[in-house]
Amino acid sequence: MIEYLDSLEESDKKLVPLIICPGLSETAEEYLDLLEAVLPRRSIILSFRGRGKSDTPDRGYNLTEHVSDIEAVVKQTGISSFHLFSYSRGVSYALGYVERHKEQIQSLIIGDYPPEHRAMPHDWPEDYINNYLIPYNRTANIRPEAVWGIQRESAFINLNYMSLSMPVLVGRGKLQESLITDTDLDRYKKMSSNITVKEYFQSGHDLKGSEKKLFYTDVTDFLDTLSE
């Protein structure tokens, strides 16, 4: 079972809905403020496998399985055309979905992550669990079994061979911690001829820190400028 939150009852049915793909250890609940920011547009936020209230399988943590989580939510909600928001590692899952279902995507929003699916180092799980999840009380957000599964099964896949025909918004931090380099940005520009770039000069990778309001405003404005 893949958990998702849906603002259907509060939404304007005439607006194209938005699906939100969180980052590595994030849950659907952590994007309720984005859901509220884009109202009356319908938003559907999922928690990927091993996160939040979604099931935690013993195996199945490579790109293909995470893409299947998005597919399950799309099928469950019955939508066939939508905007797709993604942040951090959720970007690679979203790109994997776009590769399979490009005809469904009205626009793609990319939050500070390069066009690739990354393998994780052997020593990553213990460091991530002991120095991040436990100290910051996030073990309920992503289970250790999922962390180990991601390290064990994830393979590097370069996704910049894709051609993105839909409008694309790329948001990236300008501080050292950003995960989108100038080279990565050039890769995105080669993938899309209809790309908007927003840069956040007080942010590194975390676009939802001090500049979250600006980031969400840019997302909302981008969606509102597209023809419905």
User: What string of DSSP letters covers 28-52?
Assistant: GGGGHHHHHHTTTS-EEEEPPTTBT
Whole-Å CA distances, 7 to 34, 211, 212: 11, 24, 21
Average pLDDT over residues 129-151: 97
Please tell me the total count of domains within the chain: 1
Is residue 56 a part of any domain in this protein?
yes
Is residue 28 a part of any domain in this protein?
yes
* pLDDT value of residue 29: 98
Least confident residue range of 105-114, 128-137, 219-228: 219-228
**pLDDT over 80 at 228, yes or no:** no
* pLDDT value of residue 227: 67
Residues 6+ apart with CB under 8 A from 131: none
* pLDDT value of residue 149: 98
CA distance 68 to 50: 13
CATH number of the domain enclosing 104: 3.40.50.1820
The 10s digit of each residue's pLDDT in 61-96 is: 999 999 999 999 999 999 999 999 999 999 999 999
* pLDDT value of residue 25: 97
* pLDDT value of residue 204: 97
CA distance 4 to 73: 7
Nearest residue to 40 via CA among 4, 71, 77, 15: 15
Is residue 186 a part of any domain in this protein?
yes
| Six token digits for residue 133 | 């999840």
* pLDDT value of residue 22: 99
Residue 116 pLDDT grade (very low, low, confident, very high; cuts 50, 70, 90): very high
Residues of the domain holding 175: 4-117+158-225
Is residue 40 a part of any domain in this protein?
yes
Is residue 102 a part of any domain in this protein?
yes
Mean pLDDT, the chain, as a whole number? 97
3-state DSSP assignment of residue 161: coil
Phi, psi angles (nearest 5°) of residue 52 = 55, -130
**pLDDT over 90 at 26, yes or no:** yes
* pLDDT value of residue 35: 98
In percent, how much of the chain has pLDDT > 70? 99
Average pLDDT over residues 189-216: 97
